[in-house]
Each structure stands twice: as C-alpha cells, then as structure tokens.
Amino acid sequence: MPTLHLDLGERSYPIYIETGLFSQTSFLLSAIAGKQCAIVTNETVAPLYLESIKANLRNNNISTFDIVLPDGEQYKTLAYLEKILSSLLENRAARDTTLLALGGGVIGDMGGFAASCYQRGIPFIQVPTTLLSQVDSSVGGKTAVNHPLGKNMIGAFYQPKAVFIDTNSLSTLPDREFSAGMAEVIKYGIMYDANFFNWLEQNLVALKNRDPDALRYIITRCCEIKAEVVNLDEKEHGVRALLNLGHTFGHAIEAEKGYGVWLHGEAVAAGMVLAAKLAAMREWLSPKDVLRIENLLKQFNLPITGPVEMNSECYINHMKHDKKVLSGTMRFILPTAVGCAKVVDDVSESELETLLG
C-alpha cells in the first residue's frame, strides 16, 4: 500500500516511501503503462541502480532502453532535453511507453518535462535518489529546464503516475548533497509546520547520522506537507507559492554564479535567511526566530549569507526575471513566524538595497 496519496482527481497518484524498496522485484509494475520503459538517469546514479531496475523490468516482460545524461544542474538545458526526446524517437517510443526518471531533481525535472512534451504526453514515474528530490521536487508535477536568463522558466505542470522512494539510496549520497536536501526539509518547518521545525532542532544527531527512522520520518512529513499544499493549489495560483520560500533570492544566486556552482539547496538556504531578515526588517519576524533559522541551517553546513560579490543591483536584476513575477511586480515569500509564511508583493527596491547592500 502507498504511504501517501496525492489527490488530484484523475491525476491522483501514490507516493511509496520504504527502506529497501529497490530490492523488491515488482515495485514498479503498478505504475508501468505499457510494455516499454525509457529510463532517464545520469552518470552518477546509473552505476548504482540502473542495471538492477532494468533486470526487474525485463523479468516482468517489459523492454527497456536508457538515456544516461551527465550529472549536474548545468546540464538542465534545452540541449539535453532534446537528447531525451531524440532517444525516445530513435527507440520508437509509443504513447504507452512509460518514462522513468531515476535520479535527483535535475533528472526528475527534465524527465518529466520530456514526458509532457513527447507525443503531447506519455506516462512517467519518479524514482528520486537524492534527499532534495525525495522531499520536494519529485512530488507535485513541476517540470522544467533552466535558461541563462532564469531558472525553471521553461517547463510544464505534469504529474507522474507514481513516486517511489527508497531511503536506502541516501546511504551513497555525498555529504554536500545531503546538506543541500536538508535546506528544503528545513524550509517546510519554517513556512508550514513549527512542530516539525522543533523536531528537526531536537533530532540533529539522528539526522546527521542518517538514521533510517529519522530519514523516513522527515521524507514522509515533507511529502505530506507538499501533498496537502498541491491538493489545494496544483498550479501555484495561491498557497503553493509558499513552497518557494527562499527561492527568489536563491534562484538569483544560482543564475549569477552559474547553475551547479552553488547547489540549489545551498542557494535556498541563503535565500531563506535573507527572506527572514527582510521579514524582521518589517518587524514581522522576531530576531530570535531569525537566529533559530540560521542556527539550524548552520548545523548542516549550509550557507546563511549569499555570495559576498553580489550586491542589491545584481540580485534585483535576476529577480526581475523570476517566474514568480506578476505584471512586472516581484513577489517574495516571507516568514511571519517559524511555521508560518505569506506571499508579499510590495517589497520596494529601497528595502532590498537596505537588506542586500
């Protein structure tokens, strides 16, 4: 039985969260539409899981072909999207071919976007292998590629048929990638669930040791929150925007430094602190809560300041290209307490100059 269920009518799907899921020989079968599966992955993940998943599918009479991309945010581009689409064409993938996205957030975003485009939409499933993708990007149907002028500006809302999360995959995750994922975990506590934030503060040792029970809990709780929010607002017309806490500043950092130089979670961590400080400037958030946010991020070696060479002009230039801009107005998600945030569209450039220098 699925651990969670995202309820979107005919686009509803299960989210399975288990330890050792990949060792179950038929774990994917419930979500495979036809008799062919295209597996999109990267050069880091492929040696770990690709052959065993292909063998499982072949043993169940499903043919496979794979598309192995370079690993990194810098490859999340239209050029590499075209490589996926070309491979689908070369292998004569049909409308009932299932695309399986095996990897982190980059693979999930690109695989999902390719699935949304190919023959106007083929089934796809998410098999996320990084903490960041397991707690955030694999759930909710956001798919996209980056452009030099903005992150995730070219994409589509396209829901998977299922999400399969094996917490064992985190055992091979580099420390820096694990910490980047923790930034998104902490985000959920700041913007939605104060009790969850408190739990994170109280369970640092277990989390740093990647205790299986602790990991399963944080992944489940984050997916629960994401599902609750997406159920209310699938296409980000309202409450779903709160999930972008820290992202307006963070995307500016990524665009300025070059995609992949700062990991997404690292940029979001610095962005959340900037959002917290902006809220404190308005006296919406207490200095004590700003300090709690900073301290929790520092526990996972995450940055709490942006690049020293970025000034307000640099940030503002990038933020004006952010996908959350509406009618030329920049929008920010600001915390009003630990566990609560709101969308703000009246931030002046002078405020940003005071904040950013």
Known active-site residue 240: yes
Which residues, in sequence order, are bridge partners of residue 262? 259
Known active-site residue 237: no
Q: At what angle do helices 175-191 and 194-202 cross, to 10 degrees?
A: 140
Catalytic residue among 54, 76, 142, 151: 142
Known active-site residue 61: no
The DSSP-derived string for 75-140 is G-SHHHHHHHHHHHHHTT--TTPEEEEEESHHHHHHHHHHHHHGGG---EEEEE-SHHIIIIITSS
Known active-site residue 195: no
Catalytic residue among 251, 277, 318, 323: 251
Catalytic residue among 56, 146, 152, 244: 244
Q: With contact defined as beta carbons under 8 Å apart, do 281 and 354 qualify? A: yes
Q: Sign of the C-alpha dihedral, residues 169, 170, 176, 177?
A: positive
Burial degree of 351 (CB within 10 A; 0-12, 13-18, 19+): middle
Known active-site residue 251: yes
Known active-site residue 5: no
Catalytic residue among 73, 184, 234, 256: 184
Catalytic residue among 226, 318, 323, 331: 226
Known active-site residue 120: yes
Q: Sign of the C-alpha dihedral, residues 257, 261, 264, 266?
A: negative
Catalytic residue among 76, 247, 292, 324: 247
d(C-alpha 323, C-alpha 140), whole Å = 17
Catalytic residue among 54, 151, 240, 331: 240
Known active-site residue 152: no
Question: Looking at the annotation, which residues are catalytic?
Answer: 120, 142, 184, 226, 236, 240, 244, 247, 251, 264
